[in-house]
Structure 1
Amino acid sequence: MTTDTRPRTPASSVGRRLLELAERDPSRPAVTSRDGSHGWQTLTRAQLCARVRHAAAVLRSTADPAEPCVLIDLPNGHECVVAVLAAWWDGRTPVIVPPGATDEERAALFRDTAQAVPGVSFSDEPLRPALGEPPARPQGPEPDVEAAQAWHLPSGGSTGLPRLVPAAGSALAVLSGHQLLLSAVGWSPGVTQLVIGPLFHAAPFTSAFGGLVAGDHLVMPDRFAPAVLAEALENWPPQWCQLTPHQMSLLAADPGLADLLCRDLRALMHTAAPCPEDVKRDWITRLGGDRLYEMYGSTQMIGVAVCDGSQWLTRPGTVGRPFMTQVRILDEEGRRLPPGRQGEVVMRSAVTRRLPAALAAGLRQHRGGFYGVGDLGYLDADGYLFLTDRLDDVIIVGGANVSAREVENALRKHPGIQDAVVTGRPHGVLGEAVHAAVACDPARPVTLQEVREHCGGLLAAHKVPVTVDVVEELARSRSGKVERFRYARLDSGT
């Protein structure tokens, strides 16, 4: 399928952008998704627009006009896409939460936020049926003026339970900004985009909807399974996609599937978590340095850094140079540090200049309008950013700082350890002690003694894990991040 590169006239809202795309090329595919009961289904631009218009009409006729938000807890697929677009069409803010979230998880999302649980949900009657096939001649309102907040999404939740994070500004304005960013990581308007990550996570959400309103064809498998992915890749070869390092590792374990993905791929962007060096090098070999990109950012969107594989090869470990962002490294007193010195990573961008007060209050604020999310790192002499740890992942052992990431990297060098996460646990003498959870082949588990001997050859004595949990796989959030906070508990240990 060729890329649509024709000039575009700006629209005043996402809804009007959908109308414009449908009028320009009504039969062009817009969303292809799969669910377990109906198989694959493709909506053209005209069909998608009709469904969104109908869903928006039902929303407007049944929901309180004073309710500014709509709850969306649907799995990836055309229903979720239609629900988000219908909320924007009707001038409301979608609040996207994980489908099937427990009561504890849902309560945690709304705790300590200014956002109340919306009284309107697309999972309830009569909105859920409105996401399907519309009447023969769907009637509905014209696209409304968009809300002041584009959306609410959960934070990554790697160090604790996620919290809802708002995106300030109209949906189209925020997505247009993301299109500029996507253009820096190999994306171009009108491509076929593979969407594997959950839409309640920031990177898949902004990549998918930023692409959709620029004319992309979204291909959305309902699960990360070899047979399902192979079917998608064979029938709708993607030209661009966003993956997590964990997904890259799983795909690399199936060379045939990885080759299918790379067949027509122009670029791949990875984000959401640090990428192990062996995984990074493997994908650079597969795609070439000019087609593999990394993006460092956060759900709060205070700023980003990007790099391609060629830049990474000359500076292994970098997450790139700031893009439309100013980055500084600060010491504990808030003073700026020179290149090569580790400190807190803080950012300033167009987004930070318009941060809502409620969101700003949840960030680490610094002089000059800079904000941080708790990452530690340094800049080299050429302005490339390197991450070393997080403030909440520094373990203080007898007064000495231990980097959890440094210990994790050492553990991954053991041939029997597939993955690792390191946390601190209370210790009667040292204050904290290093604890590790390691994922191994259950047929060949490592022992505490093996782990300590291995790390003893690579790390100072106070950095060597004192306790170890051996597991088949690490607990991950729905967005693919290791849930580090689960391993800081005292209910298990070797």
Structure 2
Amino acid sequence: MQPAPITIGTRIAQLAAEHPDRTAVVSVPPRGERASLTWAELRRDTDCAANALAALGVTANSTVAIALPAGLDHVRATLGAWQLGALVIPIDSAASGRELAAFRAAIGEHVLIDSLDWYGDDPTPREPVGSPRSASLTGGTTGQPRVIVRSRPWVYDEGNYLSASDISHGVREGQVQLVVLPMYHAGFGALYQGLALGHLVVIMERFVGSLWPRLVAEYGVQHVRIVPAYLRMLLDVPGLADHDLSSIESLYHGAGPCPEHVKRRWIELLGPERVYEDYGSQERIGAVAIRGDKWLEHPGSVGRPAEGAIRLLDESGEPVGAGEIGEIYFRGARQPEYVGSGPRLAERDGYLSIGDLGRLDADGYLYLVDRRSSVLNVGGQNVYPAEIEEVLAGHPAVADVAVTGVPHEYLGQSVHALVVPGAPVSVSELEDFCRANLTAGKVPLSFALVDELPRRTSGKLRRDQLTGLQR
């Protein structure tokens, strides 16, 4: 007989019954007093939130947009909305007025939770209803946000809580997990899947590099999901290697390319079997994954498919050979579901693509090149900004870098590099470094040394805001 499906709310009620006094979640501010909830308190607060949201008219047909920072209030609001079967969409709590207006327009009719003024103290138990779902905002940096619905609802088969992705990243039930990414980013899935797995979830309300290793040692953190930008920042923490990081079983990063020297240093710190990487997308059409030991055999790769299959095709739809650049297509997924409108993805013979470019080696390992939309046409030659960014990121004096195109009278576009120095460096030094590591056509014709690059708190580069920094 097939196990009965249960919602995440029912799962939390089960865990509260099993160990009511065990801590479920801890919220850690950069400074000041920490707050925590036991599993019994989490169950109680979920009911309080659900009853309060129901009084506001939230039902299983409602969309609830949550614009709260990482912390216990976010947990209460999300689980309360899911108890009612609502669709939850996390929003950047630090979004500008213009961005927030664009996000809300894309979401359509919804209930906005941007404070806990609505929260009540009625703990009357409420049985979960409906099929709780979530969606994520993407494309906001272009001014045209889209809302992509998560393909799976927050419902599980009884006793089967680990996903294929969890298993491929060294995740297991009952771990201590440190959540460092924002709630509007990958921190959302990490936190709530962690609760379903019975994790003790430690939330960093704001990422602070010097605090991270102390929390790992204090709580015996076993799993953490992170992004390359944070990994680079952590390497600058004085005495990082002197902290006790031995409890970490899986450090899992994605959401952008990781410079090779950064990756190698983390493999040295933790050991190759504890460092995981993946490549996927908000549209969830497919993913590849790789562990550190395999990465050392295929340096620079983001892995092989954990499930499904992958093809690389040229512009005419023909497969490319090993080592040749092609557009990445995944099999085994469906067109994304949107709240409101959204584009259909390119599809060929049941394979879908979001437009990323890559190459496969002879063993079938994928190497990312760039987004097709980011490719520069320099005098008829395709130039990939990500390749140049990776080279410049390897310079010891470069703290951050972005590469873009600027108009050129003869070439159409020329390569322009925006560099945040981490130590004194001259443009001529950067030019010489690029010439030593890139073919002539890829060496930037111009550089700008800037104080910082426009990045979201998730580390994602805001390319739409680079124009003002180009001179």
TM-score normalised by the chain length of structure 2: 0.91
**1:265 counterpart = 2:248:** yes
Report how far residue 171 of structure 1 moved: 1.6
Q: What residue is the counterpart of 2:149 in the other structure?
A: 166
Structure 1 gaps of 5+ residues are 1-8
Q: What residue is the counterpart of 2:279 in the other structure?
A: 296
- Asked whether the 8 Å contact 2:327–2:355 carries over to 1, the reply is yes
Q: Residues 316-339 of structure 1: CA distance to partner in whole angstroms, max 9, x if unpaired? A: 111011011211101111222233
Amino acid at match of 1:142: E
Q: What residue is the counterpart of 1:446 in the other structure?
A: 426
Q: What residue is the counterpart of 2:167 in the other structure?
A: 183
SS in 1 for 2:449: strand
Q: What residue is the counterpart of 1:493 in the other structure?
A: 470
Inter-partner Cα distance in structure 2 for 1:271 and 1:84: 24
**1:29 counterpart = 2:29:** no
Q: What residue is the counterpart of 2:126 in the other structure?
A: 141
| Shift in CA distance, 178/299, structure 1 to aligned 2, threshold 3 Å | farther
Q: What residue is the counterpart of 2:307 in the other structure?
A: 324
Inter-partner Cα distance in structure 2 for 1:244 and 1:211: 18
Q: Residues 421-448 of structure 1: CA distance to partner in whole angstroms, max 9, x if unpaired? A: 111112222111111101103x62423x
Report how far residue 247 of structure 1 moved: 1.1
Q: What residue is the counterpart of 2:463 in the other structure?
A: 484
Inter-partner Cα distance in structure 1 for 2:35 and 2:212: 15
Amino acid at match of 2:131: E
Inter-partner Cα distance in structure 1 for 2:274 and 2:227: 16
Q: Residues 57-101 of structure 1: CA distance to partner in whole angstroms, max 9, x if unpaired? A: 111122254851111011111110121111111110111100021
- Asked whether the 8 Å contact 1:445–1:470 carries over to 2, the reply is no
Report how far residue 354 of structure 1 moved: 6.4
Report how far residue 11 of structure 1 moved: 4.6
| Shift in CA distance, 454/226, structure 1 to aligned 2, threshold 3 Å | closer
Taking only aligned residues, the RMSD between alpha carbons, in angstroms, comes to 2.6
Report how far residue 308 of structure 1 moved: 0.4
Inter-partner Cα distance in structure 1 for 2:469 and 2:442: 20
Q: Residues 187-244 of structure 1: CA distance to partner in whole angstroms, max 9, x if unpaired? A: 111101000111110x322222112111011001222225543553343121111111
**1:471 counterpart = 2:446:** no
Q: Which moved more, 1:311-320 or 1:154-163?
A: 154-163
Amino acid at match of 1:193: Q
Q: What residue is the counterpart of 1:345 in the other structure?
A: 328
Q: What residue is the counterpart of 2:298 in the other structure?
A: 315
Q: What residue is the counterpart of 2:102 in the other structure?
A: 108
**1:287 counterpart = 2:256:** no
| Shift in CA distance, 432/474, structure 1 to aligned 2, threshold 3 Å | same
Inter-partner Cα distance in structure 1 for 2:310 and 2:153: 26
Among all aligned residue pairs of Structure 1 and Structure 2, give the percentage whose two residues are the same amino acid: 34
Amino acid at match of 1:186: G
**1:376 counterpart = 2:357:** yes
Matches within 5 A, 1:44-443: 44-63=38-57, 65=59, 68-110=62-104, 113=106, 115-118=107-110, 120-124=111-115, 126-127=117-118, 129-130=119-120, 134=121, 138-147=123-132, 150-155=133-138, 163-173=146-156, 179-201=163-185, 203-226=186-209, 228-229=211-212, 232-254=215-237, 256-257=239-240, 259-260=242-243, 262-349=245-332, 352-353=333-334, 355-356=336-337, 361-441=342-422
- Asked whether the 8 Å contact 1:238–1:261 carries over to 2, the reply is no
TM-score normalised by the chain length of structure 1: 0.87
Inter-partner Cα distance in structure 1 for 2:338 and 2:148: 12
Report how far residue 173 of structure 1 moved: 4.8
Amino acid at match of 2:470: G
Q: Which moved more, 1:459-468 or 1:217-226?
A: 459-468
Inter-partner Cα distance in structure 1 for 2:232 and 2:31: 29
Amino acid at match of 1:340: G
Inter-partner Cα distance in structure 2 for 1:354 and 1:492: 37
Inter-partner Cα distance in structure 2 for 1:257 and 1:428: 48
SS in 2 for 1:109: helix
- Asked whether the 8 Å contact 1:379–1:385 carries over to 2, the reply is yes
| Shift in CA distance, 206/276, structure 1 to aligned 2, threshold 3 Å | same
Report how far residue 109 of structure 1 moved: 3.1
- Asked whether the 8 Å contact 2:273–2:291 carries over to 1, the reply is yes
- Asked whether the 8 Å contact 1:416–1:446 carries over to 2, the reply is no
- Asked whether the 8 Å contact 2:5–2:157 carries over to 1, the reply is no
Q: Residues 294-350 of structure 1: CA distance to partner in whole angstroms, max 9, x if unpaired? A: 01111111111000001000011110110112111011112222332210011122x
Q: What residue is the counterpart of 1:4 in the other structure?
A: none
Structure 2 gaps of 5+ residues are none
Alignment length, in residue pairs? Answer: 468
Inter-partner Cα distance in structure 1 for 2:104 and 2:352: 22
| Shift in CA distance, 353/292, structure 1 to aligned 2, threshold 3 Å | same
Report how far residue 477 of structure 1 moved: 1.3
Q: Residues 103-142 of structure 1: CA distance to partner in whole angstroms, max 9, x if unpaired? A: 222233356x4x3151x22225752x33xxx45xx21421
SS in 2 for 1:101: coil
Inter-partner Cα distance in structure 1 for 2:377 and 2:307: 35
SS in 2 for 1:386: strand
- Asked whether the 8 Å contact 1:156–1:299 carries over to 2, the reply is no
